[in-house]
């Protein structure tokens, strides 16, 4: 996921990511934090949704990659219910010191995204551990 994407493809990706974050019931300001755009005003989400693609920056694209992988893992974990994935994202979890996965991602930044992804996706966690040959 990088500069090989056209502006139109990035705009489509932006809309998809924002729709996904909406499905997870994440507030606009927190959506921007998750995307690494903390310094952008919350009202900017509307512009992103309508006409402005996410910036083609490595940190933003890495965050998008983690968010997509989290969504994929939730679909695998709860194949018959999007609602269950949304509920899981907002339920306090012992693994995250009794914080919700959303709070973990917002408060811990990229480390939080990786923590939530690792929790949901054991193959990613395995790869991260250096255990594969």
pLDDT in tens, 43-91: 888 888 888 999 999 999 999 999 999 999 999 999 999 899 999 999 9
The whole-number pLDDT of residue 130 equals: 60
> What's the pTM?
0.88
Beta-bridged to residue 99, according to DSSP, are 93
- Tell me how many degrees the CA angle 101-104-107 measures, rounded to the nearest 5: 145
Residue 120 CA, chain-centre distance (Å), reads 13
38 in Cβ contact with 30 (< 8 Å): no
| 121 pLDDT more than 80 | yes
Look at residue 99 and give its three-state secondary structure: strand
The whole-number pLDDT of residue 89 equals: 97
Residue 2 CB: number of other CB atoms within 10 A?
Answer: 10
- Tell me how many degrees the CA angle 12-85-132 measures, rounded to the nearest 5: 85
How far is the C-alpha of 69 from the C-alpha of 115, rounded, in Å? 12
26 in Cβ contact with 101 (< 8 Å): no
* Angle, helices 58-77/101-120, rounded to nearest 10 degrees: 70
Residue 94 CA, chain-centre distance (Å), reads 20
Backbone φ and ψ of 92, nearest 5°: -55, 145
């Amino acid at each position: 996921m990088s500069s090989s994407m056209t502006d139109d493809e990035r705009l489509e990706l932006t809309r998809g990511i924002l729709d996904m974050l909406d499905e997870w019931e994440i507030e606009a300001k927190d959506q921007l934090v998750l995307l690494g755009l903390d310094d952008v005003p919350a009202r900017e989400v509307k512009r992103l949704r309508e006409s402005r693609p996410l910036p083609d920056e490595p940190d933003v694209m890495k965050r998008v990659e983690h968010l997509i992988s989290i969504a994929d893992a939730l679909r695998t974990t709860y194949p018959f219910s999007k609602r269950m994935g949304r509920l899981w994202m907002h339920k306090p979890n012992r693994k995250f010191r009794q914080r919700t996965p959303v709070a973990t991602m917002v408060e811990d930044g990229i480390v939080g995204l990786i923590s939530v992804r690792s929790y949901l996706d054991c193959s990613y966690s395995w790869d991260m551990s250096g255990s594969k040959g």
